[in-house]
A and B are shown apart, each in its own frame.
Chain A
Amino acid sequence: METLSLFWNLVPVTLVQGLIYSLIALAIMIPFRVLSVPDLSSEGVFPLGAAVTTALMTAGLHSVWATLVAVGAGFLAGVTTAMIHLKFKVHSLLAGILTVTMLWSINLRIMGKPNTPLFGFETLYEWISPEILGSLPLQIVLFGIMAIILILALWWLLQTDVGLGLRGIGANPQLAPALGVSLVAYTAAGLGLASAISALAGALMAQLQGYADVGMGIGMLVNGLASVIIGEAITGRSTLLRQISAPVVGAIVYYQLSSLALALGLNPSDLKLVTGLFVLLTIGWPYLVGRKVSSTGL
């Protein structure tokens, strides 16, 4: 019972964590499901967002601007991955790995050191209301609203002509150019959008925890994948809204599950192994039971 009450006490904190990390899950879903160009550069873009934000804030820039510049930097990182993929004909996953690798050095350059504290600087949260940082319920409301706005914005975007173009290159990359959709421009915009969302998560997390760390992205990718898989199992993918909600629902559930596992005595250092095995099992399940597998697996 004691372990369960430990878990129970952590539910609000874990919910805040899950809501912020749901952005990373969204950033993984967009390339996979919308563009059919799998990209996992979140691992490097998330700390990029944190690094840019803290570097600019400690240099005296207002937190709003610092956050916006971080989002822009994330967009550029996504465009870089897209260009490596399209221009050098490198598989998108490998292009993402190259971006992540290069970003490690860039993030260190931006911050000048592996860890930058933000104490004494007015964060986005303090700017909105001085009470947010001390109140978990307020944080839950804030990040909850943010997640809902983001879901609705993406839902709307993907139903516009531009959004239909994005889904078009994902659904049929041979047809889309024949209908006037530029593969290069739309892939770059789509990956840019996804990475911008990852960078936003990094900027928000750095300001919430009060520091940026060059290693804060490690493991984000597999957590995000697990979130997408769990979310899709819950919401399904039958409509656009369900597909877009899945990563957010999945991230909330995933972080509660891992919190529960830790409360039950799982060694924190074993968490990545367990998550990895979970992802593997979900992907491999249809093969293990010998069911016919659709060609659009994760």
Chain B
Amino acid sequence: MSLSNRNCPALELDKLRVVFHPGTPNERVALDDLTLTLESGDFVAVIGSNGAGKSTLLNVISGAVLPDQGRVVLEGHDLTGMAVHQRAAYIGRVFQDPMLGTAPALSIEENLALAAKRGLRRGFGLALNNANRKRFAELLAPFGLGLETRMRVLAGKLSGGQRQVLALLMAALRKPRLLLLDEHTAALDPGTADLVMQATRRIVEEEKLTALMITHNMEQAIHFGNRLIAMNAGRVHMDVGRDVKKGLTVDDLVKRFGEAADHQLLKA
């Protein structure tokens, strides 16, 4: 299946509903008829408190969680029933835990070779050859981590930040129709997080990717991307574009987001 319907929005989430433990005292509505549309090239930062449904949102898009209701439509094609490995043809994902984004027992170059076949048929040709080794090294070099000289080192031997940069490159190695970033700097120290965010911006801008980034960091949410969404109780509570975002401060955000959250509390 090729996705080529360029007139459709990059991503349409149509009334997504996810209820965990339905019919038990632990019942929790994780996504409450959430509807959201991303235009091609949107780089959306998503904030929200714990339990607001951010992770569930990414899991429903990636296919790790199937919605009880609603549809996930990518460039006009319905992905709702597809398995994770099938959607992987169109979606790149970086996990929060640096341990999860790479395969620790494989070398840097093997990780990249594994990612280079995302969405393609895997055959019985050797995964690594001089040509793609050279290409991988050239792609790693601009990040300035020196990884390009350590291609045969196991990914498990890298630091958290190095692994996240590798994971980022792996997710974008074959241009994804959608890049999902799941708090991918949350486990890093501030300096490293900054480095990974610069790398993220570079990749998203150079490849003109459509990206959805969950973050706990309000500053990050303001500084990166062209759109900011705040989630609360499984819904989108605030959705502002680049112009409004530019003028926002962290205090504004806390205040506005706080009001939205209070409003929700009052309603409930």
Contact = CB atoms under 8 A, between A and B. Distances in A.
Contact of B127 (A164, A171, A175, A179): A164
Interface in B13-47: none
Given A171-B105, A174-B95, A180-B118, A160 B124 contact: yes
Interface string A164-177: 11011011101111
Interface in B36-82: 62
A175 B171 CA distance: 10
User: By DSSP majority rule, is chain B's interface helix, strand, loop, or mixed?
Assistant: loop
Interface stretch (B84-92, B189-197, B221-229): B84-92
Interface string B87-116: 011010101000011111110001001110
A180 B83 contact: no
B123 interface: yes
Contacts of B93: 178
A161 B95 contact: no
A161 B101 contact: no
A174 B124 CA distance: 23
Interface in A172-204: 172, 174-183
B125 interface: yes
B105 A162 contact: no
A83 to B, nearest CB: 16
A175 B102 contact: yes
Contacts, number: 88
B267 interface: no
Contact of A168 (B62, B103, B120, B123): B103
B180 to A, nearest CB: 9
Contacts of B88: 177-180
B128 interface: yes
Contact of A179 (B86, B118, B123): B118
A12 interface: no
Contacts of B110: 164, 167
B85 A175 contact: no
B122 interface: yes
A180 B82 CA distance: 12
A289 B43 CA distance: 53
A168 B85 contact: no
B103 A171 contact: yes
Given A164-B114, A165-B122, A171-B106, A177 B84 contact: yes
B178 interface: no
Q: How many A residues are at the interface, by size bracket?
A: 20 to 34
Given A167-B105, A172-B103, A179 B125 contact: no
Nearest to A237: B105
A172 B85 contact: no
A159 interface: yes
B126 A182 contact: no
Given A161-B124, A180-B88, A180-B89, A171 B118 contact: no
Contacts of A160: 122-127
A157 interface: yes
A161 B103 contact: no
Given A160-B127, A161-B125, A164-B114, A175 B103 contact: yes
A163 interface: yes
B211 to A, nearest CB: 15
A179 B167 CA distance: 11
Contacts of A183: 85
B165 to A, nearest CB: 15
Nearest to A185: B85
Contact of B95 (A156, A167, A170, A175): A175
B123 A161 contact: yes
B126 A180 contact: no
A154 to B, nearest CB: 13
B90 to A, nearest CB: 10
A180 B105 contact: no
A242 to B, nearest CB: 14
Q: Which 8 A-B pairs have the closest CB atoms?
A: A171-B103, A180-B88, A161-B122, A171-B105, A177-B84, A172-B103, A177-B85, A164-B127
Interface of A: 156-157, 159-165, 167-168, 170-172, 174-183
25 contacts: A157-B124, A159-B126, A159-B127, A160-B122, A160-B125, A161-B124, A164-B106, A164-B114, A164-B122, A165-B114, A171-B103, A172-B102, A172-B104, A175-B102, A176-B114, A177-B88, A178-B88, A178-B93, A179-B115, A180-B85, A180-B88, A180-B119, A182-B83, A182-B85, A183-B85
Given A164-B122, A171-B105, 15 more contacts: A160-B126, A161-B125, A162-B123, A163-B127, A164-B127, A165-B114, A172-B103, A174-B95, A174-B100, A175-B103, A178-B85, A179-B114, A179-B117, A180-B88, A180-B89
